[in-house]
């Protein structure tokens, strides 16, 4: 009985904390509770504090952050009051333990075998509905020993199809960069660097992908 009461108290406490700290409406009370818990986790454990990312309403943007660890989506969620529809690799989306969370968050699975049309259609519907879509243009977690200094072409194509600007963001201060599980349990000092939005026309420049890739890994001061 004591164990049951203790568990009930813990569940009730987590529900209270999640509800109190929820700042984005994900369309379901359970996902909103999770939003609040993620914010507490990032602000306290990863020392993100009240740092935010400015997401302009006009022009509409595709959020394009670097990808250095498993906590990247969590710190991005914490940095804005809007729900984020992340585009993620289908093999990650389908993982049994995490699939429920990806579905609840409205993530968009992307086939990495070149068949991306279905994912793009989902992303375009979300953008048309006023939702914020984000994808990691490096195509995977960046490690210092495996640099990804030329971004994948998908974000350029999606920018053209959606007529959205690209908002590059660099995540800094991750405690265990280049890892997934370790980054979750090792404390960080999260900060962000924002680049001015890049227009769809600017993204068509032949040197854009290399310039943005260099900016995301900190080797360039500006993209355009």
String of DSSP letters for 142-158? -BTTB---S--THHHHH
Place of tokens 């072409």: 153
pLDDT score for 147: 67
Instruction: Tell me the domain boundaries of the chain.
Output: 1-45, 53-216
- Provide, rounded to the nearest whole percent, the portion of the chain with pLDDT above 90: 79
pLDDT score for 97: 79
Please give the Cα distance from 223 to 204 (Å, whole number): 12
Residue 193's contacts (CB-CB under 8 Å, 6 or more residues apart) are 169, 170, 172
Rounded (10°) CA dihedral 63, 68, 69, 71: -30
String of DSSP letters for 73-117? HHHHHHT-SS-EEEEEEHHHHT-TTTHHHHHHTT-EEE-TTS--H
pLDDT tens digits for 181-194? Answer: 999 999 999 999 99
Provide block-wise average pLDDT over 10 residues at a time, the chain (224 residues). 86 95 95 97 97 91 96 97 94 86 91 83 94 93 76 95 97 94 96 97 96 94 91
pLDDT score for 43: 97
Please give the Cα distance from 200 to 192 (Å, whole number): 23
pLDDT score for 98: 81
Please give the Cα distance from 148 to 144 (Å, whole number): 9
Residue 37 near residue 4 (C-beta atoms within 8 A): no
CATH fourth-level superfamily of 53-216: Glycerol-3-phosphate (1)-acyltransferase (3.40.1130.10)
**165-172 sheet: strands from edge to edge:** 108-110, 84-89, 132-135, 61-65, 165-172, 191-194
Please give the Cα distance from 71 to 75 (Å, whole number): 6
Residue 4's contacts (CB-CB under 8 Å, 6 or more residues apart) are none
Please give the Cα distance from 79 to 182 (Å, whole number): 21
């Amino acid at each position: 009985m004591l164990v049951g009461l203790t568990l009930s108290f813990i569940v009730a406490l987590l529900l209270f904390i999640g509800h109190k700290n929820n700042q984005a409406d994900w369309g379901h009370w359970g996902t909103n509770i999770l939003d609040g818990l993620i914010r507490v986790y990032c602000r306290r454990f990863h020392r993100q504090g009240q740092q935010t990312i400015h997401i302009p309403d006009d022009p509409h943007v595709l959020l394009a952050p670097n990808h250095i660890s498993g906590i990247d989506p969590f710190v991005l969620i914490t940095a804005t009051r809007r729900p984020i529809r992340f585009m993620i690799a289908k093999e990650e989306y389908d993982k049994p333990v995490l699939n429920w969370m990806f579905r609840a968050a409205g993530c968009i699975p992307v086939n990495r075998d070149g068949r991306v049309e279905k994912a793009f259609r989902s992303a375009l519907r979300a953008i048309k509905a006023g939702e914020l879509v984000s994808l990691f243009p490096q195509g995977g977690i960046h490690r210092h020993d495996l640099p990804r200094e030329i971004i994948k072409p998908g974000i350029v194509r999606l920018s053209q199809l959606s007529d959205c600007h690209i908002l590059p963001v660099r995540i800094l201060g991750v405690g265990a960069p280049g890892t997934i599980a370790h980054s979750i349990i090792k404390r960080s000092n999260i900060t962000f660097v924002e680049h001015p939005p890049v227009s769809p026309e600017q993204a068509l420049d032949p040197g854009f992908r290399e310039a943005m890739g260099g900016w995301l890994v900190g080797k360039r001061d500006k993209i355009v």
